Amino acid sequence: MKRLILTYNQSCNLNCKFCYIDFHHKKIEDKTISIVEQAIQLGFDIITFGGGDSFSKRDFREACKIAHQNHLFTHVDTNTLSINESDFKFIEENIDLLGVSIDAIGDYYNLFRDSHRLFQKLNHTLQQLEKYNIEIKVNTILTAQNINSIPDIFEYISTFKNIKRWSIYQFSPLSSAKKFEDIYKISDSDFEQTLKFVNTSNTDLIIEKNRYANRVDGYIFCDEEGNLYTNNINGKYLPLGSIFNEEDIKNVFSKNILINPKIKKRYT
Ligand code: SF4
């Protein structure tokens, strides 16, 4: 099972301080469509379109459609800000798993992600998606700042029948998020203590608790220009060349780093 994670490292439509992507904001050529075509040729089975927000990127919809038509499992993460009314049908037809960020409820969520209309947009989007056959996963970053929000999030997401999975991530003080470690860091014991609530909740939701210390290596990332990289267990990112270069691809495959036993069966 081979999974490619396409990340938009150029920019995002939000500016979350706890985000660990170092957006470079340089002018680039977005090669998303060619990257997807290459991933199909190379036999990838899963493609994840990660942050920044895919829906804010010009070629994302076309690229996702091509991936889906060629039988890749399509997983797309979004903060929902750039989802339009015309996207609901698109999502139903082309996305196998939609990952939606929710870290708090109501105005507190807007404050948490520094956006005055985010929760209203999220709420509207989730209500509209209820009319479609779409599987949704909620992604929550748990930090010292939203530690009390877990019961509210649980109550809120339990009202949506499309939400099947809840992934809760301990704040990772990596890359650009390191600057704000003092504000957001949450200890292992506080993380576990806070999540005791979900152990006792009566629910059909699949709940994944992702401790920072238990993060795995072996993910294959590709930015929107085709540069490949992976992460090691210490959170360091290591360049692997280009998805368009035959030699680089041979190296990636020969190292067998595409098959991480902890992640290969996560969604399928
Ligand atoms: S956490 Fe997500 S929404 Fe926020 S800046 Fe990073 S990629 Fe964008």
SS3 136: strand
Output the CA 192–ligand 1 centroid distance in Å: 24
Lookup result for tokens 């030699």: 247
**CATH number for the domain that contains residue 35:** 3.20.20.70
Residues with CB under 6 Å of ligand 1 are 12, 14-16, 19, 21, 51-53, 79
Residue 189 belongs to domain spanning: 3-264
Task: Select from 136, 165, 137, 152 the least CA-distant residue to 194.
Answer: 152
Q: How many CB atoms lie within 10 A of CB 198?
A: 17
- Reported as a single tens digit per residue, the pLDDT across 215-244 is 777 789 999 999 999 877 666 778 999 999
Ligand 1 atom with the shortest distance to the CA of 20: 6
Q: Do the Cβ atoms of 150 and 194 come closer than 8 Å? A: yes
Task: Select from 147, 156, 146, 266 the least CA-distant residue to 196.
Answer: 147
pLDDT tens per residue across all 268 residues of the chain: 789 999 999 999 999 999 988 899 999 999 999 999 999 999 999 999 997 899 999 999 999 999 999 999 999 999 999 999 999 999 999 999 999 999 999 999 999 999 999 999 999 999 999 999 999 999 999 999 999 999 999 999 999 999 999 999 999 888 888 899 999 999 999 999 999 988 888 899 999 999 988 877 778 999 999 999 987 766 677 899 999 999 999 888 886 554 454 544 555 4
| Cα distances (angstroms) measured from residue 255 to each of 29, 91, 137, 251, 260 | 29, 35, 31, 6, 11
SS3 112: helix
The domain tally of the chain equals 1
DSSP 8-state code for residue 210? E
Output the CA 77–ligand 1 centroid distance in Å: 10
Output the CA 16–ligand 1 centroid distance in Å: 6
Whole-prediction pTM:
0.93
Q: For ligand 1, atom 6, which residue shows the shortest CA distance?
A: 19
